[in-house]
Amino acid sequence: MSGIEGKVIAITGASSGIGEATAVLLAGRGATVVLGARRSDRLEALSGRIVDAGGAAAYRVTDVRRRDDVTNLVALAVEKYGKMDVLVSNAGVGPISALDELRVQDWEEMIDVNLKGFLYGIAAALPVFRRQEFGQFVNVISTSGLKIVPMQAVYGGTKNAVRTISEGLRQEAGPNLRVTTVSPGYIRTDFADSITSPTVRAQISDTAATIAIPPDAVARAIAFGIEQPSSVDVSEIAVRPTAQG
């Protein structure tokens, strides 16, 4: 047994990037993956790929800004497979910009997705984990919460809020639940697509094109946290390009 085989793992933001790579990797190591994201066509295609490769997958359209959607994703895992071992809270957006641009709608979007969506995951999964007396939260954060830089104040703020809550959750979790945070740096994803500031979008895209690493690097880190024995809690992992400052 790999420490992953046989586990039921729900993943938000699963239709592309880190979420997609994580789903493929975990399914390839014997997990049953329950996929949540907003794009139904991408979910259907990814689920089909996993099943065609001999894996097990289910999906439900999930907008983490809606608490009921997150609750229903967790319910799908439990109702279909009888348990849920891990919730990977990966959904996130990053419309970063200078504070002077006053892109308040973008600030609200980051709070709604990055922070409230993550909290909805706790609200949905924690009662399940308590009832089962086992479970693990894997929360995908960002190195933007580790190193505060211009243009990313609100984004880094939401990510640091997740980091703080994750640590509080870990301390409250007790001996049967685990909490792991994974902070990616520049990863080859569609992250820049959510940036509404043209200048910042160009800067991020240029840097990513030069140094970004593939999303399966983060997927392997997530798998590492999951595959440890139940008595081992890998609390924090940062994954960044060697060229990133």
Tell me the DSSP string of 27-95. HHTT-EEEEEES-HHHHHHHHHHHHHTT-EEEEEE--TTSHHHHHHHHHHHHHHHS---EEEE------
List the pLDDT tens digit at each of the 245 positions of the chain: 479 999 999 999 999 999 999 999 999 999 999 999 999 999 999 999 999 999 999 999 999 999 999 999 999 999 999 999 999 999 999 999 999 999 999 999 999 999 999 999 999 999 999 999 999 999 999 999 899 999 999 999 999 999 999 999 999 999 999 999 999 999 998 888 888 888 888 988 988 889 999 999 999 999 999 999 999 999 999 999 999 98
Is the residue at 235 inside a domain?
Answer: no
Is the residue at 109 inside a domain?
Answer: yes
How does DSSP classify residue 100? G
Is the residue at 241 inside a domain?
Answer: no
Centroid of chain to Cα 119: 12
Residues recognised as catalytic: 155
CATH code for position 90? 3.40.50.720
> From start to end of the chain, where are the E strands?
8-12, 32-37, 56-61, 86-89, 135-140, 177-184, 236-239
Is the residue at 244 inside a domain?
Answer: no
Domain range enclosing 41: 8-228
Q: How many domains does the chain have?
A: 1
β-bridge mates for residue 140, sequence order: 182
Is the residue at 125 inside a domain?
Answer: yes
Is the residue at 243 inside a domain?
Answer: no
Is the residue at 71 inside a domain?
Answer: yes
Is the residue at 238 inside a domain?
Answer: no
With tokens 């493929």, the residue in question is 24
